[in-house]
Amino acid sequence: MVPRTLLELLENNEYLNDISKLYENKGYEFYLVGGAVRDGILGKNTTDFDFTTSATPEQSIELLNKNNYKTTEIGKAFGTIELQKGESSIHITTFRKDTYSIDSRNPNIESASNLDTDLSRRDFTINAIAYSINEKRLIDPYSGLKDLASGTITTPDDPIISFSDDPLRMMRVCRFISTHGFTPDKKTFIAIKDNVERIKIVSKERIRDELSKLLIGDNPSLGIRALVESGLSMYIIPELNELKIEIDPEHNHKDVYEHTLLVVDRVSPNIVSRLSALLHDIGKPKTKGVENGKVHFRHHEVVGAKMSKEILHNLKYDKKTIKDVSNLVEKHLRPHTFKMGWTDSAVRRYMVDAGDLINELNELVRADVTTKNKDKAQEINNNLDEMEKRIFEVAQKEEISKLRPPVTGDEIMKHFNIEPGPKVGEIMKALYEQRINEGPVSKEEALKLAASIYKNL
């Protein structure tokens, strides 16, 4: 029986139905496979549709082009033709089987003669279910429906072979734990632990992409636990394992690892917020000290920001993500100083330093409050409420996005008849400090300060 959720996903999609009929009328087998079938059964919407067919790439191109479909042949070498219809991405791949060499996760691709062989090469049984749109029929040779119903992750092939062939599949297990709430069976998880070193042959970019998908899932902490407990994290972010600082009875402190997982779950599901939560205390193991019988982690936010840059650079994240995450890690303790009282200039400086990340920073700070002491938690949150109120008040008085001195760098060069260079930079830096500390100032006041700075350069 075909689940109603899958039928509803497809029955009104004329585009997919038309393509299916096109292949059927030509005598080709044509099946929807992978994530679209899985998520359709689960009632999740998707715009990414993968099909497998008995037609060769050349036959697909000829058939589609004759019927006025525009094709992209980027994946042709792998047997895949791509179509784009609005927001929908459609991939059509010829039946195939993959074989792997010991030192590469790039498969040697051969055509396969039937659907079962094609499905056997897929990562998990839940992704090895095919659906014939024309016949309204499910094909499930590896009991993927049963695993979907129980929320279990298993592989069509022996998991040892599957993970050795394509080590990235081990990361995908952790990702599906986070995004779908599934659990690998014992045999599958043991196979991951026995194959963790194979992850070294996978490119950093592919690992980064899987990690990002894991982190923005509904249950990121569960995915991270699987990453750490399987041993995979030692080859991806070994610093995570170091968060499990031994908690001795004499010098008690909160469990940094468990605390981190709580914070990750609490922030919004965007990659900057989730990475910042994951790394916000990453500097604690390197800064742990004991003084007067109490544990401290002085300047762990500064150390953590530097470590975050190195970790994310190693994982090939883009420059903006690295900058934003390290900025949030470095500043996540700043709002706690509000309990000592903030002047307008301190509020302005906080707003300028946080910039476009002010909402993410405030959210991270609140998520970081995991104390079980209700009175302490309430006190901290009251301080944060008051701080956000002050931010709103200052923003109402001044347009913070335009917190600039009343004179520009060009005006400074013209006024003092100097060329672009360090001198101009020093003067402008002082003028920005003046603007933040004193609020709006006149052009005359700014030039007066500029003159005094220029005189001492």
> For the residues 304-325, what does the mean pLDDT come to?
97
- Domain boundary (149, 181, 214) is at 149
Highest mean pLDDT among 11-15, 45-49, 429-433: 45-49
- Domain boundary (105, 127, 149) is at 149
Q: What is the pLDDT of residue 279?
A: 98
Provide the 3-class DSSP secondary structure of residue 137: strand
Tell which wins on pLDDT, 79 or 119: 119
Q: What is the pLDDT of residue 352?
A: 79
> For the residues 5-15, what does the mean pLDDT come to?
83
Q: What is the pLDDT of residue 46?
A: 86
Query: What's this model's pTM, rounded to 2 decimal places?
Result: 0.82
Could you read off the pLDDT of 319-367 as tens digits, one per residue?
999 999 999 999 998 877 766 667 777 788 788 788 889 899 999 999 9
Q: Is residue 37 assigned to a domain?
A: yes
> For the residues 108-129, what does the mean pLDDT come to?
85
Could you read off the pLDDT of 30-62 as tens digits, one per residue?
999 999 999 999 988 888 899 999 999 999 999
Tell which wins on pLDDT, 218 or 397: 218
Q: Is residue 354 assigned to a domain?
A: no
Task: Tell me the pLDDT of the chain averaged across its residues.
Answer: 88
- Domain boundary (120, 149, 178) is at 149
Task: Give helix then strand counts, H and E, for the chain.
Answer: 23, 12
Q: What is the DSSP letter of 107?
A: P
The CATH number of the domain holding residue 37 is 3.30.460.10
Tell which wins on pLDDT, 99 or 296: 296
The DSSP secondary structure of 336-361, one letter per residue, reads: GGGGG---HHHHHHHHHHHGGGHHHH
Any idea of the CA torsion for 199, 205, 210, 216, to the nearest 10 degrees? 140
Q: Is residue 104 assigned to a domain?
A: yes
Q: What is the pLDDT of residue 336?
A: 75
Q: Is residue 437 assigned to a domain?
A: yes
Kindly indicate the confidence band of residue 251, based on its pLDDT and cuts at 50, 70 and 90: very low
How many structural domains compose the chain?
A: 2
Range of the domain at 448: 404-455
Q: What is the pLDDT of residue 105?
A: 55
How far apart CA 279 and CA 239 sit, in angstroms, is: 9
Q: What is the pLDDT of residue 24?
A: 94
Could you read off the pLDDT of 207-248 as tens digits, one per residue?
999 999 999 999 999 999 999 999 999 999 999 999 986 555
Q: What is the pLDDT of residue 7?
A: 82
Q: Is residue 113 assigned to a domain?
A: yes
How far apart CA 398 and CA 393 sit, in angstroms, is: 9
Beta strands in 38-194 (DSSP E): 48-53, 80-85, 88-94, 96-99, 108-111, 130-132, 137-139, 152-153, 183-184
Residue 22 amino acid letter: L
Check whether 166 has a pLDDT greater than 60. Answer: yes
